[in-house]
């Protein structure tokens, strides 16, 4: 059995008609556009006699096969960032839907159920990313900050608590675009994700002395922005020295007083390290801090620290075997971005399958995936799900 590639592409095109006005695709979490996409999913399931379910916060499910057994769960999300692309999240849900339709068309006799889910709010910041899948897995901490932030959402505390439902499933699979260039640059068809990167962030303030830009000589200045430039170059050197899969980024920087005729007196920025080994990430952050404190006037405070998440070795081996049997080139790799699979990894065997995206572009209207790569990825997802069904019987 193989998926119907043209139908999959048609389903993606139909789904992506649901968007706010503007460039690219915009289906922000908890908006009418996300809700319309979730309704679309339910409607498509019902058109093909697939059993449907909505949980308390609106995660949507389509299921075929027996009801009593623990089954395989396939999914992703349908919300997007503002002016995002056509494939981030949506591909995983629509490919799963196509798998269910293909199984039904071929009269597959399933001893365990196969379910496709679209989780809500994967991209949302209000309640933190991957909100729907974390609620589904029962891993949300109901601290004062979370309860306060819930006030600006359509959900109640009771609804979030009633969403827990992961105990019905044994395995989770997610198909996603890579959002980077490693597959494309290495000529690989498939990325087999073994881990999701942890995150280590520091809040850094670099102090100098504000002065008139015309009267303060170059040798007399204490320019906080020039100090920051030197600090960031050392940070880049450190991360590159430690090598893959570690990456370091400063994407947020504020210059004070931020005037064209004033030498900057202070710069604030957030520094981020991602990787698969927390001790290495801490070491990079510590060496950075030692350098910055020794040679510059800085104040450094810890921000967040998230542990890396190992995905299921069983699912990694399953996807690798599927790729070998299909003659596809693959690469075992880390995901530098978070995904719903990270939530699921806390409660069941969880895995991610990557396909290349052109130039690594995502979260962008120019997000592009070759149709042939979509077909390959969907079929690897299909065969991996069938293999997991057989292995669990």
pLDDT digits (tens, 9 = 90+) for 320-370: 999 999 999 999 999 999 999 999 999 999 999 999 999 999 999 999 999
Residue 127 has pLDDT above 90, yes or no: no
As beta bridge partners, residue 63 has 51, 115
User: According to the model, what pLDDT value does residue 130 have?
Assistant: 94
How much is the mean pLDDT over the chain? 96
Summarize the confidence of residues 222-244 as an average pLDDT: 98
Question: Which string of b and e fits 280-319 if b means at least 16 CB within 10 Å?
Answer: bbebbbeebbebbeeebebebeeeeebebbebbeebbebb
- For the cut 80, the answer to whether the pLDDT of residue 68 exceeds it is no
Residue 99 has pLDDT above 70, yes or no: yes
Can you give the C-alpha Rg of the chain in angstroms? Answer: 23
Helices marked H in 26-180: 32-47, 90-105, 131-137, 144-149, 157-162
> Does the pLDDT of residue 261 top 90, yes or no?
yes
Query: pTM value?
Result: 0.90
pLDDT at position 393 over 70: no
Contact 116, 71 (CB under 8 A): no
Apex 376 CA angle, 374 and 379, nearest 5: 105
pLDDT band of residue 392 (cuts 50, 70, 90) is low
Q: What is the pLDDT of residue 5?
A: 97
CB-based burial, 358-374: b 16+ in 10 Å, e otherwise: eebbbbbeebebeeebb
Query: Tell me, what's the pLDDT at 310?
Result: 95
Flag whether pLDDT at 184 surpasses 60: yes
The predicted pLDDT at position 271 comes to 98
């Amino acid at each position: 059995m193989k998926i119907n590639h043209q139908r999959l592409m048609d389903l993606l095109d139909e789904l992506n008609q649901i968007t706010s006005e503007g460039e690219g695709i915009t289906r922000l979490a908890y908006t009418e556009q996300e809700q319309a996409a979730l309704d679309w999913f339910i409607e498509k399931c019902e058109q093909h006699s697939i059993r449907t379910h909505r949980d308390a916060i609106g995660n949507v499910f389509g299921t075929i096969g027996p009801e009593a057994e623990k089954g395989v769960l396939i999914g992703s999300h349908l919300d997007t960032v503002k002016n995002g692309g056509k494939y981030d999240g949506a591909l995983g849900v629509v490919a799963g839907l196509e798998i269910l339709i293909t199984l039904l068309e071929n009269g597959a006799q399933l001893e365990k159920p196969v379910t496709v889910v679209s989780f809500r709010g994967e991209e949302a910041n209000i309640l933190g990313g991957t909100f729907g899948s974390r609620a589904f897995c029962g891993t949300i901490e109901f601290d004062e900050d979370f309860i306060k932030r819930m006030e600006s959402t359509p959900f109640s505390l009771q609804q979030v608590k009633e969403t827990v439902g992961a105990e019905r499933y044994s395995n989770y699979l997610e198909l996603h675009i890579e959002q980077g260039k490693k597959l494309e640059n290495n000529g690989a068809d498939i990325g087999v994700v073994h881990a999701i990167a942890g995150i280590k962030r520091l809040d850094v303030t670099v102090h100098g002395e504000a002065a008139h830009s015309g009267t303060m000589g170059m040798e007399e200045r204490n320019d906080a922005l020039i100090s920051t430039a030197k600090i960031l170059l050392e940070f880049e050197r450190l991360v590159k020295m430690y090598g893959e899969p570690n990456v370091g980024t400063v994407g947020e920087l504020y210059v004070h007083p931020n005037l064209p005729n004033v030498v900057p007196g202070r710069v604030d920025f957030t520094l981020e390290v991602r990787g698969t080994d927390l001790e290495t990430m801490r070491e990079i952050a510590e060496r950075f801090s030692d350098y910055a404190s020794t040679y510059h006037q800085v104040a450094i405070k810890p921000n967040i620290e998230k542990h890396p998440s190992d995905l299921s070795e069983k699912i990694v081996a399953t996807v690798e075997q599927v790729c070998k049997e299909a003659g596809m080139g693959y690469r075992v790799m880390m995901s530098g971005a978070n995904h719903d699979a990270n939530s699921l990894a806390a409660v069941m065997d969880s895995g991610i399958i990557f396909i290349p995206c052109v130039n690594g572009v995502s979260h962008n209207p120019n997000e592009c995936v070759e149709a042939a790569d979509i077909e390959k990825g969907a079929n690897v997802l299909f065969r991996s799900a069938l293999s997991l069904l057989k292995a669990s019987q």
